[in-house]
Structure 1
């Protein structure tokens, strides 16, 4: 018995020694972890505000990658006129496949309109694919604005992929190191500039359809929502549409494959807050603070969305397919569709017929148009015909002739279609 007791005390002693040793090891590990965390915090305190926000690459690394792509990319458009750089800078998670069954905004702009991304990315919860148009004297400004938005705005970095286009005849001559200077997120951020439209950039033809196609092709999503960069979607439009799609429409994919889901567009008086919901929009409309988009320059361009009918529908929190609309000449709605729809004809540049030609082809190819209730787009500021650039009418006449040729080509492309664009 005495020997058994001694054996038990020996085992207990060894166990106690093991526990003491384990406590010491854990304390050492804990102190080491604290030291590392303190060192990391100290390092972050000495980094700039931009560096602290970037989890994967530093700002200089991102800038170097962008510059390498600009210098070494050699892809041209089909006409051989423009240089294309897809995925100049990509959203976090790009290429992971996580966005496949998703809806992205596809848009385009010049460098002086990039500031609109800040508001758009706050309202839109999904991916954004944006093509930026630039040229020789502007490219450093464009790159600087892109990297600042990406670095300093988390919602842009997480959602937005940037693509770049410039004309070969106005290719960038050189890049200085000055465009990489991002010392503060509060200094030098892109801000609202002059009201001059994209079509008035130093006599360069603005290829909006080429820009749109590049944004669509590189969206990494199965569906796209092609909007102008200065348009703001209604509250939670991304999530509401995906819920509608996954619960009611996806099971009928064969029926909805050739469907364009139209989102009515309004314009908001200067200085008035953009409405978030349909009830807010209706109230602003009654106060004459909101009106249908483009009603002054071209009332038929959006009128066939049937604004009175849409406004008469009872608002609700859920997105709903409200009614069908037959396409009519001059109607150019903004819509959501699967990415396999006919792309934009890249021959249309500058002002006129660039969007209507694509919607016309949707119609001829057999697409149906359905309007969504409770969803809308809002443009900040009223569009007025007297504010257009000086060469508008000349461009409109030129593109109208091209549109006539385009319609004849559709008859050959869709020989069995009974639909026309008259």
Structure 2
């Protein structure tokens, strides 16, 4: 099959694919026959590979020092043969990843690998605390079969390389590939090491199979450098580190860890670095300089890979000599600081390939590997058990199924920096989808404190949001906003899941639970922090109610004070929130009392009350059975009351709802009797659960519900 995967290889020419198998009554017989055919094909490919290798390659098994240019037959892949890799052999991939931006990049790399792969994978990530948090949450929620992930603390490795001065923009993390023999498990014998700016255009198993071609002495597999950097002729007085000819690029490395450890790699690279730094003073290309200086002293240890395994798109490269057809490409390396803006005659094609994976729906990569047993995680076993208990004939099956959907989550999608002001600090918590994106700039202007947002988007929409945020003067200068992407899946808007994601990732002791289509009054952040102290929230269970108002005007002169707001209320420019359509939602706030109040006052819970509140971060989470429109906040406020939170209305706080088109879910609620029936059913079940959880104290909720 070469690099064809169900006819979906992005770059390769059309290959012969298996025609659909007829439906047989005995599935085990079919699977047995498929395995036999695959084994026969594997043996044929192996024999072909050995005969081709003996005809084309030098006796030592390397690719030699020849130029792998456009004229090389060995570079023409056609429908290439697969390497001699067992179909269920685990392929190990290592990557150094630090910070928010690199975490985004590595996801695109992983997508390209998963798209083409037919083998189980084990990713080894050397990370800082930021990347660890982001990637561990992502892979846990991605739940890709036959993929294992391990993390290693970069902090513990810094001392190994911090003594090396490095001018490269990658900083200290650009040197950490030197430490992999120490960082990775002692029983791991081989690993593919990749930079984060790599895109695969073929099955990574082909690259893994090249380990079989190593001679007994070879320990490192690398592609020749395609720029003139190590030739030292780029500018006057350009003095690069020593290298063998053009040198090698370390964006893609095959590391034979077992052999490297035996030859005491850690000592050898250190001695090389110490010797060269006496004259060079610092590295310019991070680990690549040290690898090259080591190889120049020990050329027998390197196995040169064909250049299509690392087509380098940096400036001053000869990458175009590496291929004539796009089908020749296997790995594209965006190793220029300019990234996608690099100059290359085929850059438009490369960019489109990269964007394909960037915006590719990662949910489609959750596919099982046929014939390879995949150990189920406790999470997937629990999920499968819950799914099996659902009744597919239940009229509300779709609602119940939605609650069990595991959405991929990419935390801190953009750069994030936050220093807690003090122990009264408050995070604004909200959720949104693409159609509410225009509200973000206004909220940032009204709220200077930290913000935690869950954004419900497809992979393609997440990239649109990234471009929008990077182009916005307001958003790109705000580093204390945590943007958490929850990837779209299913037919309902998982509103309470989104709220919980934003709530869990709020970094402060207190949270302001609101919606993204409300603008807080100017100065609300500081006022709420003072109220937290005044009402002793650290030692009591209180929920501070921020009264909500609305305008029907798209252009509003926002009131600068309570007095100005009251004047606008009297003139009919503003209304109490949902006064016309759903007064019960906010009537208990007691707006008449609020007009003249000068101190906080307590209100009692009433049925359907759904105020926006400030609470301690350890408050109950939202009930995720409520998806789409209806009762999602009502249930949460009911639980706050059940846990004996005092509802205190703040006399000098307010927020204003800005008008917008109705959401898809509210339209469904209004037009679909079955939608309303299922929401009513979920309400009843929620009341039953409340009774079990809180006993007789919860009877008032059921009584209030039935009296409506």
Are residue 83 (structure 1) and residue 408 (structure 2) matched?
A: yes
Decide which of 625, 637, 654 is 1:359's aligned counterpart: 637
The aligned runs of 1:15-164 (5 Å cut-off) are 64-69=102-107, 73-76=138-141, 79-93=404-418, 96=419, 98=421, 101-149=424-472, 152-153=473-474, 157-164=478-485
For residues 459 and 514 of structure 2, what CA distance do their matches in structure 1 show? 27
Deviation at 1:390, TM superposition (A): 4.3
Are residue 219 (structure 1) and residue 506 (structure 2) matched?
A: yes
For residues 409 and 511 of structure 2, what CA distance do their matches in structure 1 show? 20
1:345-385 Cα offsets, whole Å, 9 max, x none, are 11111110111011111111211111000101101238999
1:292-334 Cα offsets, whole Å, 9 max, x none, are 11112211111111111111335xxxxx42x111101011111
Query: Residue 530 of structure 2 corresponds to which residue in structure 1?
Result: 243
Query: Residue 57 of structure 1 corresponds to which residue in structure 2?
Result: none
> Residues 210 and 381 of structure 1: is their aligned pair in 2 closer, same or farther, counting only changes over 3 Å?
same
For residues 341 and 236 of structure 1, what CA distance do their matches in structure 2 show? 24
> Residues 417 and 156 of structure 1: is their aligned pair in 2 closer, same or farther, counting only changes over 3 Å?
farther
Query: Residue 302 of structure 1 corresponds to which residue in structure 2?
Result: 586
Deviation at 1:154, TM superposition (A): 5.7
Are residue 410 (structure 1) and residue 690 (structure 2) matched?
A: yes
Query: Residue 350 of structure 1 corresponds to which residue in structure 2?
Result: 628
The aligned runs of 1:276-355 (5 Å cut-off) are 276-313=560-597, 320-321=599-600, 323-355=601-633
> Residues 155 and 274 of structure 1: is their aligned pair in 2 closer, same or farther, counting only changes over 3 Å?
farther
Deviation at 1:388, TM superposition (A): 5.0
Query: Residue 493 of structure 2 corresponds to which residue in structure 1?
Result: 206
Determine helix, strand or coil for the equivalent of 2:435: helix
Deviation at 1:137, TM superposition (A): 4.8
> Residues 100 and 82 of structure 1: is their aligned pair in 2 closer, same or farther, counting only changes over 3 Å?
farther
For residues 459 and 530 of structure 2, what CA distance do their matches in structure 1 show? 44
Q: Which has the larger radius of gyration?
A: 2
Q: Tell which has more relative contact order, 1 or 2 (C-alpha 8 A, sep 6+).
A: 1
> Residues 341 and 232 of structure 1: is their aligned pair in 2 closer, same or farther, counting only changes over 3 Å?
same
Are residue 260 (structure 1) and residue 538 (structure 2) matched?
A: no
Query: Residue 552 of structure 2 corresponds to which residue in structure 1?
Result: 269
Determine helix, strand or coil for the equivalent of 1:310: helix
For residues 102 and 470 of structure 2, what CA distance do their matches in structure 1 show? 11
TM-score by length of 2: 0.41
Deviation at 1:62, TM superposition (A): 6.0
Determine helix, strand or coil for the equivalent of 1:140: helix
1:399-422 Cα offsets, whole Å, 9 max, x none, are 221011011101111236356322
Deviation at 1:63, TM superposition (A): 5.0
For residues 284 and 411 of structure 1, what CA distance do their matches in structure 2 show? 43
Please report the RMSD computed on the Cα atoms of aligned residues, expressed in angstroms.
2.8
Determine helix, strand or coil for the equivalent of 1:284: helix
> Residues 137 and 261 of structure 1: is their aligned pair in 2 closer, same or farther, counting only changes over 3 Å?
same
Query: Residue 198 of structure 1 corresponds to which residue in structure 2?
Result: none
> Residues 225 and 83 of structure 1: is their aligned pair in 2 closer, same or farther, counting only changes over 3 Å?
same
For residues 617 and 581 of structure 2, what CA distance do their matches in structure 1 show? 30
> Residues 283 and 156 of structure 1: is their aligned pair in 2 closer, same or farther, counting only changes over 3 Å?
farther
For residues 382 and 287 of structure 1, what CA distance do their matches in structure 2 show? 22
Contact 1:296 1:383 in 2 (8 A): no
Q: How many residues are treated as equivalent by the alignment? A: 314
The aligned runs of 1:188-207 (5 Å cut-off) are 204-207=491-494
Determine helix, strand or coil for the equivalent of 2:487: strand
1:162-201 Cα offsets, whole Å, 9 max, x none, are 00101456xxxxxxxxxxxxxxxxxxxxxxxxxxxxxxxx
Moved over 4 A (4+): 61-64, 69-72, 96-100, 382-385
Query: Residue 25 of structure 1 corresponds to which residue in structure 2?
Result: none
Contact 2:441 2:475 in 1 (8 A): no
Contact 1:224 1:337 in 2 (8 A): yes
Are residue 399 (structure 1) and residue 682 (structure 2) matched?
A: no
For residues 390 and 80 of structure 1, what CA distance do their matches in structure 2 show? 20
> Residues 65 and 99 of structure 1: is their aligned pair in 2 closer, same or farther, counting only changes over 3 Å?
farther
